[in-house]
Structure 1
């Protein structure tokens, strides 16, 4: 668990570093201004379209950068991913609280049964324990405290990973808008060609690129 969480956090920090470099990196033009403007106009984009504007829009509101790039098909993907991850956070948090309270009730009941406590200080969590009991056991058998604690820790771990995953997905959507805005002005047309020519020996090939 510790190793997995550390790696996930490391990946998140790496993406943040990439985003930071993108924010403060000097603008790079893929084409001369005249060619770049022509490509933007041909694709229905304003002549002043820039990757930095796409970056800040995507950072301010999920999907805005993709909308700015006129890549509308990506917007449902962005919101579906964020919605799914948000649901995972809320669901696992609710389950974590349920098993946490059931666990507190159960360990206190065990201490009362063993004479360590006179009364259960978490008696108000009896309904949560009964709910878990009905869910897990068809015969309403007693559930060991260890099992409740294991389920509590599992949902807490899934909730925390979902939070990290949401951050990763959000950063990736920002990076996607920024990179896509750069790629929009790359002209791949007749002036770029690739030619493969077999040699007389038949065991090698020559590659010629023409820009």
Structure 2
């Protein structure tokens, strides 16, 4: 009987050591199975914003969002076109009004001979206001281009994986056993 106790104690120690060894191996496997985190470059958004400030659309190309480049140039180009057109018409109305103030009356070969002076002043104000609004839109779209490149570069580095998920689920009601529809929000640690 004296020999059985040490032998059983020995088997108990060997079993415990092998159990801990297996747990340790499992832990190593779990560590190997985890997803490696991507490197985050904090300067990427600043580079994208800088590139867009230098040349509109270059930040979008840096972020590999090539489909946004025509939108950037379309918005800035359209606003710039309206600025140039309204500025040209404003200058035409202003020059005609100045010509009238110099003593050249209606019917002397001016571009807007059919308009009186009050309409020339109203035309100047109208095209000046539209010109200023178009300039504001050019600046706004230019700034929006820079902001878009910066935000898009931030979102490229945003980690989305399967551990965070939202799934629709149909489950029975506990009382009536009719199906209920709901959303579940799962986060796995």
Task: Tell me the TM-score normalized by structure 1.
Answer: 0.59
Instruction: Report SS of the residue matched to 1:73.
Output: helix
| Alpha-carbon spacing, 1:200–1:102, altered in 2? closer, same or farther (3 Å) | farther
Q: Distance in 2 between matches of 1:91 and 1:206?
A: 53
- Tell me if structure 2 keeps the 8 A contact 1:58–1:173: yes
RMSD, aligned CA: 2.7
Instruction: Report SS of the residue matched to 1:36.
Output: coil
Correspondence for 2:160 among 163, 188, 191: 188
Q: Distance in 2 between matches of 1:36 and 1:162?
A: 43
- Structure 1 stretches of at least 4 aligned residues deviating more than 4 Å after TM superposition: 196-199, 201-206
| Alpha-carbon spacing, 1:196–1:76, altered in 2? closer, same or farther (3 Å) | closer
**CA deviation string 1:127-153 (max 9, x = no partner):** 5xx2224xxxxxxxx422111111111
- Tell me if structure 1 keeps the 8 A contact 2:45–2:150: yes
State the number of aligned residues.
146
Q: Distance in 1 between matches of 2:112 and 2:142?
A: 34
**CA deviation string 1:128-179 (max 9, x = no partner):** xx2224xxxxxxxx42211111111100000001111111101111000000
- Tell me if structure 2 keeps the 8 A contact 1:51–1:179: yes
- Measure how far apart 1:49 and its partner are: 6.9
- Tell me if structure 2 keeps the 8 A contact 1:196–1:208: no
Q: Distance in 2 between matches of 1:189 and 1:132?
A: 66
Q: Distance in 2 between matches of 1:53 and 1:88?
A: 31
Q: Which has the higher contact order (CA 8 A, sep 6+)?
A: 1
For 2:5, the equivalent position in structure 1 comes to none
Correspondence for 1:68 among 62, 65, 78: 62
- Measure how far apart 1:204 and its partner are: 9.1
For 1:209, the equivalent position in structure 2 comes to 186
For residues 130-149 of structure 1, what are the structure 2 equivalents within 5 Å?
130-133=110-113, 142-149=114-121
Question: Does residue 105 of structure 1 match 2:99?
Answer: yes
Instruction: Report SS of the residue matched to 2:150.
Output: helix
- Measure how far apart 1:59 and its partner are: 1.5
